């Protein structure tokens, strides 16, 4: 005969092991969010799972979630919002993996891709449309730079520096003076601030050095390009400069312009341009043998880039008149 105490103990044990997907999502995000680089990343996880997973499986016990439930979340957006759907799949998989480790479920993960969902859903590479960042054409760069150099404001200077260094907007906006070595004429971006999480050295051309020397140095402010209240510029600040100039492109597009210039208009090797962009080399063998970062060879390339776009010397009256025409 089962006693009431045994029944109560069994109920408590069952309740402790039976967790719904929404609860597991909350606990997983709470547990892992300290590893994520910013608050925005946590919000993206929360919003994606709340919008696309919770309506279908949020109320289900994680131990009961199977392939059909995962497909309920993915199929409605797999073809129309594939990038979002792919992230959603990975996030569902992570939550269910966490639940398995915590003994809230057992068995294979129904959100896994290889050998499972890849058999019932088309591959993302087959249905995703590649969207390139709008960019300024190579031959339009000199006139654009001339106009940009006549604009006031820290965001305009940051944009100019981003173009000269072929750096990402976030790397420039977060740049601090302790990363800049004026004597060595180099900017060293630490790994945590890079997309690939690897330290990246940037050779500074004469034009880049000239720009840095003209920047105001604010006491107790380490940011190279401080914005309002001496805080970092927002991620839209550089784009706003271009909008005011009526240029329908984005700051990231200048990296593409630089890459096109290096590939189509110069004899610099492909890997040198890729190193300038801090891209991970596609060939693992090539990457393994590439011990250095070719800083001085890249310095020549970045100087040639600055010269090509006309970002050298001062702005003369003739320059302005040419722009007005």
Distance CA 64, CA 246 (A): 54
pLDDT at 37: 66
Query: What's the chain's average pLDDT?
Result: 87
Whether 2 shows a pLDDT value over 70: the answer reads: no
Tell me, what's the pLDDT at 323?
42
The CATH 1.10.443.10 portion of the chain extends over: 138-324
Continuous segment of H or E residues that includes residue 171: helix 169-173
pLDDT, residue 293, reads: 84
Please, which residues bridge with residue 202 across strands? 187
Q: Are 251 and 243 in contact (CB under 8 A)?
A: no
pLDDT of residue 311: 79
Task: State the pLDDT confidence band at 289, using cuts at 50, 70 and 90.
Answer: very low
The CA distance from 137 to 144, in Å, is 10
* pLDDT at 253 exceeding the cut of 70: yes
Amino acid 35: pLDDT = 82
- 3-class secondary-structure state, position 315: coil
* Assigned CATH for 138-324: 1.10.443.10
Tokens 């006491």 sit on residue:
219
Instruction: Indicate whether 313 pLDDT > 70.
Output: no
Task: Check pLDDT > 80 for residue 315.
Answer: no
Q: Which residue did the predictor score with more confidence, 46 or 291?
A: 46
Q: Which of 78-82, 86-90, 163-167, 316-320 has the weakest average pLDDT?
A: 316-320
Q: Which of 96-105, 129-138, 199-208, 220-229 shows the lowest mean pLDDT across its residues?
A: 129-138
Query: Residue 36 — pLDDT band, cuts 50, 70, 90?
Result: confident
Q: Is the pLDDT of residue 285 over 80?
A: no
Q: Name the pLDDT band for 99 (thresholds 50, 70, 90).
A: very high
| 250 SS3 class | coil
Confidence label for 10 from pLDDT (cuts 50, 70 and 90): very low
Arithmetic mean of pLDDT, 293-298: 91
- pTM of the full predicted structure? 0.62
At residue 290, the pLDDT reads: 52
Residues of the chain with CATH 1.10.150.130: 14-127
What is the CATH architecture assignment of 14-127? Orthogonal Bundle (1.10)
The rounded distance, in Å, linking the Cα atoms of 200 and 123 is: 33
Say if residue 319's pLDDT is above 60.
Answer: no
List, in sequence order, every residue forming a beta bridge with 77; answer none if it has no partner: none
Average pLDDT over residues 33-37: 77
Q: Is the pLDDT of residue 213 over 50?
A: yes
Q: pLDDT of 262-276, one tens digit each?
A: 999 999 999 899 999
């Amino acid at each position: 005969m089962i006693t009431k105490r045994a029944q109560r103990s069994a109920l408590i044990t069952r309740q402790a092991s039976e967790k719904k997907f929404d609860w597991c999502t909350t606990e997983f995000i709470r547990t892992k969010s300290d590893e994520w680089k910013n608050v925005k990343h946590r919000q993206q996880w929360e919003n994606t799972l709340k919008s696309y997973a919770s309506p279908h499986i949020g109320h289900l016990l994680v131990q009961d979630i199977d392939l059909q439930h995962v497909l309920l979340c993915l199929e409605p957006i797999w073809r129309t919002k594939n990038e979002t759907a792919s992230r959603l799949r990975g996030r569902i998989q992570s939550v269910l993996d966490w639940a398995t480790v915590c003994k809230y479920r057992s068995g294979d993960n129904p959100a896994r891709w290889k050998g499972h969902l890849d058999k019932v859903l088309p591959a993302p590479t087959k249905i995703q449309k590649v969207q390139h960042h709008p960019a300024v054409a190579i031959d339009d760069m000199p006139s654009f730079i001339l106009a940009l150099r006549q604009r006031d404001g820290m965001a305009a200077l940051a944009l100019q520096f981003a173009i000269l260094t072929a750096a990402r907007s976030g790397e420039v906006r977060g740049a601090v003076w302790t990363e800049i070595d004026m004597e060595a004429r180099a900017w060293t971006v630490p790994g945590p601030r890079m997309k690939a999480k690897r330290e990246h050295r940037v050779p500074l051309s004469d034009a880049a050095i000239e720009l840095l020397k003209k920047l105001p140095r604010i006491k107790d402010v380490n940011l190279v390009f401080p914005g309002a209240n001496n805080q970092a510029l927002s991620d839209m600040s550089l784009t706003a400069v271009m909008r005011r100039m009526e240029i329908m492109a984005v700051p990231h597009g200048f990296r593409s312009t630089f890459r096109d210039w290096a590939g189509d208009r110069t004899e610099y090797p492909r890997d040198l341009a890729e190193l300038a962009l801090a891209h991970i080399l596609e060939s693992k063998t090539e990457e393994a043998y590439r011990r250095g970062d070719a800083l001085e060879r890249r310095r020549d390339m970045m100087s040639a880039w600055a010269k090509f776009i006309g970002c050298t010397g001062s702005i003369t009256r003739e320059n302005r008149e040419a722009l007005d025409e």
